[in-house]
Amino acid sequence: MARRAHSGTIRIGISGWRYGGWRGVFYPEKLPQRQELSYAAQRMSSIEINGTFYSMQRPSSFAEWKAQTPPDFLFSVKGSRYLTHMLKLNNPLPGLANFFAQGVLALGEKLGPILWQLPPGLAFHPEKLQNFLEVLPRTGEEAAELARAHHDHRLKGQPWLDWSGVGALRYAMEVRHSAFCCTEYINLLRQSNVASVVSDSAGRFPVIDDVTADFIYVRLHGHEHLYSGGYGDDLLRTWADRIRAWSSGEQIPTENITHPDSKLPRHPRDVFIYFDNDAKVDAPRDAMRLEELIAREI
């Protein structure tokens, strides 16, 4: 983690940590699988939990992940695809309740932003998105109450309702349909203080660089090839410049800013960056190299 005076906290990490191809390359050859999270967490300050996108997890898993990481570590948690890809944000209350009831709150003070990744086939529907944003709980206490009141039969086991250590909740949204490249979308996120994910996906999905929240969320899926290929020092230095600007409350102009707003508050912002170019072990290498490049300027 990097800190500077008059700037937000910068956290650089990876999207997921359990990849067979990383064993013997990033992870030491004889390292037990159960120690991989701890090993990765000693080398970066945040990791995205991906398993929550595919299925509900157990409270014991969240508690174990919390215990295996350093005190100042944060997890980002990927929202359920049941809500984003199957329901397509319709009737979200039971799904949201199950998401929080599964044990997400057991991360306590290590719970960072919650990421909602929308599918490429889902276009921008303002009313639907606004309804989804309005029902998102904003604190750990609200999330626990939502979990208690609205979880349904899809939740296996008892709901986890202990929100100890969880304060304000942060949300980020990654969209993959060009219809979201509009002022109305940017304004909706700004009204809800939800971060529009700055995504690099080798040209596959839209790029939206607008600042919409009091923090920044970046996902680097690969610059030339989706989910593979290293970034190289020139690209990483470019990202380092952008990250330092965001952290200090500024923004380097790009052609992908949909709705420039000179009145946007210029205050320090926390920045979360996750490498998802995991196919050939480039993600952890790039994360650690970017950390080095940013640290040199502090």
pLDDT digits (tens, 9 = 90+) for 44-92: 999 999 999 999 999 999 999 999 999 999 999 999 999 999 999 999 9
Residue 215 has pLDDT above 60, yes or no: yes
Q: Which DSSP symbol is given to 199?
A: E
**Burial of 6: CB neighbours in 10 Å, binned 0-12, 13-18, 19+:** exposed
Interatomic CA distance for residues 75 and 103, integer angstroms: 13
CATH number of 10-296: 3.20.20.410
CB 88 within 8 A of CB 122: yes
Angle at the Cα of 70 (from 148 to 143), degrees rounded to 5?
15
Return d(Cα 84, Cα 129) in angstroms, integer: 11
Task: Report the predicted TM-score, pTM, of the whole model to 2 decimal places.
Answer: 0.94
Residue 226 has pLDDT above 80, yes or no: no
Phi, psi (rounded to 5 degrees) for 133? -65, -35
* pLDDT at residue number 5: 43
| Exposure string over 116-136, b if 16+ CB within 10 A, otherwise e | bbbeeebebeeeebeebbeeb
The residues that bridge with 47 in the sheet, in sequence order, are: 14, 75
The pLDDT tens digits of the residues spanning 138-170 come to 999 999 999 999 999 999 889 999 999 999 999
Token digits of residue 1: 């983690």
pLDDT of residue 298: 56
CA distance 152 to 101: 10
Task: Please check the confidence at residue 99 and state whether its pLDDT lies above 50.
Answer: yes
**DSSP strand pairing (215-222 vs 270-275):** parallel
Mean pLDDT for 127-143 is 98
108 pLDDT above the threshold of 50: yes
Query: With bands split at pLDDT 50, 70 and 90, how would you rate the model's confidence at 261?
Result: low
Instruction: Please state, in angstroms and rounded to a whole number, the distance separating the CA atoms of residues 262 and 14.
Output: 32
Strand ordering across the sheet containing 111-117? 195-196, 171-174, 111-117, 74-78, 46-49, 10-15, 270-275, 215-222, 198-201
Share of the chain above pLDDT 70, in %: 95
Which one-letter amino acid corresponds to residue 48? E
Model confidence band, residue 260 (pLDDT cutoffs 50, 70, 90): low
Query: How confident is the model at residue 135, as a pLDDT?
Result: 97
Confidence of residue 267 (pLDDT cuts 50, 70, 90): confident
Element (H, E) at 43: none
Task: Provide the pLDDT confidence category of residue 262 given band limits of 50, 70 and 90.
Answer: low
The stretch 206-221 carries a mean pLDDT of 95
Q: Taking residues 176-196, report their average pLDDT.
A: 96
Tell me, rounded to whole angstroms, the distance of Cα 141 from its chain centroid: 21
Instruction: Indicate if the pLDDT at residue 136 is higher than 60.
Output: yes
Q: Which tokens hold the place of 254?
A: 């790009």
When pLDDT is cut at 50, 70 and 90, the band that residue 6 belongs to is low
- Over residues 15-36, the pLDDT tens digits come to 999 999 999 999 999 999 999 9
Q: Residue 27 has what pLDDT?
A: 96
Backbone angles phi, psi at 147, to 5 degrees: -60, -40
pLDDT at 258 over 80: no
Spell out the domain ranges in the chain.
10-296
